[in-house]
Every structure is written in C-alpha cells, then in structure tokens.
Amino acid sequence: MRGMYASLSEWIKNYPNLKSWLYFNTVDMSEGNTSLNSTGTHKKVKEYIDGSYEAELPFGISMVMMYDTEQSDINHEAFEEASNFMDWVENADPYPDFGEHYTVTDIYLYDQSPDIMVDTQQALAKYTFFGVVEYTYNT
C-alpha cells in the first residue's frame, strides 16, 4: 500500500495553502507543518468473480498552527484554515492517481470538524481530520 499513500501525498501537495513540506506518518509540532498519516490498511468492501474489487484506504491529515489563550482571532483563523483544507480534500478534482488498474471513485471525511489538540506550552494546536479514499481495482 506504500504506492497508494505516496500517490495520496503527491495529490495533497496540490493544496494551495500548504505552508511547509508534507510529512508522512510523523507530526512535527512546529507552526505551519502538515502531515499525512496512515490510519490502517486498505479494506476490500466488495469483491467480484473476475478478481476486481472495491476498497477503501483510510487516512488522517494533521496541521499544526499557532494557538492563543488571549482574545485574538488566531484560533478562529486556524480553525477556518483547517476547515478550508477539509473542503479542498472532499472537493478537489481530479482525484489522486493510484496507477494502472485503479480508479479512485470518491474521497470523503468522517467529520465536518477537525479534532484539536492544544500544546499551551508552545502556543500550538494540532488540527486533525480523518477520511477515506474509495477506489476500484480492475483486472
């Protein structure tokens, strides 16, 4: 499945507001960093007699942004940026290219709001959202 996550990474790099390198399976708690995280292996949903199948590839995306405990707009702006990224993931066209014999049919997110983890010592927040790439393998 390494090839699929590599393809998904390349696709995510097209997000116009990425502020740094796109990490994979590691979250660097520095402002502006983004990471694609594997959250399991692909799961076959339906198999056909000819050997083709429909499957799902789960993923997570984490973004690290400034956090403020005072009365400022920083937290609102960070939440809005995470929401914009979520919208882009669900609506970007074209879908990632998983290679010959694979057709991505949909990408959806589990929630409409990211999970938030706050590190008050560093004044940072990690916004994480989870989704699935649905695809078909054709023989």
pTM value is 0.93
Q: What pLDDT score was predicted for residue 96?
A: 96
At residue 41 the predicted structure's pLDDT band, cuts being 50, 70 and 90, is confident
CA 73 remoteness from chain centre: 25
pLDDT for 2 equals 56
Bridge partners (DSSP) listed for residue 24: 36
Q: Which two tokens stand for residue 47?
A: 């198999």
